[in-house]
């Protein structure tokens, strides 16, 4: 199963692959060169397909837990000052996604979208300390009665040039549903109220819609 954001790219890539396979048979007379071109073309198509994969991870929403919104590795767990929306101290948990991870973003909890804003910016490597405030990013705040207001921020990395965000202010969203997509390596930061019970550790592998990041 593939994400809808990859539909156009997958169609173009598949068409080009078929075209190159057909043309190479006609234009390249040296067999090993022909095979090399064909294998390289198919491998590139496989890379495109795996990047836009969207595993079926249906869950039963649980208002007492916050699940990982993306696949990746937990790289930050620390108390920080959040200057954009809360303007006070929050507990930050960051998940870094490599280019080989699933890049679908899912709603970490059910609730009302209180804030949703896109910020153009730089393309520093996603683990850079200033990536959270200087890179291209979207900031979304969800609210429910169990956790209060929780922010997540989609951050573009050095390769990512487009962030897709489905969250619209004032709407109700459901834990586990598609929330967007980030292309080609990136990071998601979560900001919790101080004192929130965190259920992950540094360098732990996170699986979107499966790993419980926080609970009450």
Instruction: List Cα–Cα distances, 154 to 65, 96, 206, in angstroms.
Output: 20, 10, 16
Beta carbons of 206 and 115 less than 8 angstroms apart: no
What stretches of 26-87 adopt beta strand conformation (E)? Answer: 65-67, 72-82
Cα distances (angstroms) measured from residue 83 to each of 33, 67, 198: 56, 24, 22
- The one catalytic residue among 13, 94, 132, 186: 186
- Is residue 13 annotated as a catalytic residue, yes or no? no
Return the SS3 of 39: helix
By three-state DSSP, how is residue 195 classified?
coil
Which residues are tagged catalytic? 186
């Amino acid at each position: 199963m593939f994400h809808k954001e990859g539909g156009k790219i997958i169609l173009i890539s598949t068409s080009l692959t078929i075209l190159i396979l057909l043309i190479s048979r006609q234009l390249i007379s040296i067999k090993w060169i022909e095979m090399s071109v064909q294998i390289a073309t198919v491998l590139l198509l496989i890379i495109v397909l795996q990047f836009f994969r969207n595993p079926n991870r249906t869950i039963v929403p649980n208002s007492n837990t916050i699940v990982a919104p993306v696949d990746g590795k937990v790289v930050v767990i620390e108390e920080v000052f959040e200057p954009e929306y809360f303007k006070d101290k929050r507990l930050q948990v960051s998940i870094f996604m490599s280019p080989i991870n699933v890049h679908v973003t899912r709603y970490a909890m059910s609730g009302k979208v209180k804030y949703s804003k896109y910020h153009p910016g730089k393309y520093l490597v996603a683990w850079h300390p200033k990536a959270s405030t200087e890179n291209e990013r979207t900031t979304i705040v969800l609210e429910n009665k169990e956790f209060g207001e929780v922010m997540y921020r989609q951050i573009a990395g050095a390769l990512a040039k487009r962030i897709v965000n489905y969250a619209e202010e004032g709407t109700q969203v459901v834990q586990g549903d598609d929330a967007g997509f980030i292309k080609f390596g990136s990071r998601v930061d979560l900001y919790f109220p101080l004192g929130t019970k965190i259920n992950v550790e540094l360098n732990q592998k996170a699986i979107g819609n499966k790993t419980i990041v926080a609970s009450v």
